[in-house]
Amino acid sequence: MLTLTAARLGALVGGAVVVETVFALPGLGWLAVAAAVTRDHPVVVGSVVTSTVLVWLANLIAGVVAPVLDPRLRDG
Nearest to 47 by CA among 68, 17, 12: 17
Mean pLDDT for 25-42 is 92
> How confident is the model at residue 12, as a pLDDT?
85
Q: Residue 3: pLDDT above 80?
A: no
Question: How does pLDDT run across 10-33, given as a tens digit for each residue?
Answer: 888 888 889 988 998 998 888 889
Is pTM beyond 0.85? Reply is: no
Q: Reduced to 3 DSSP states, what percent helix, strand and coil does the chain have, rounded to the nearest 5?
A: 80, 0, 20
What size, in residues, is the chain? 76
Q: How far apart are CA 62 and CA 67, in angstroms?
A: 9
Write down the domain spans for the chain.
2-73
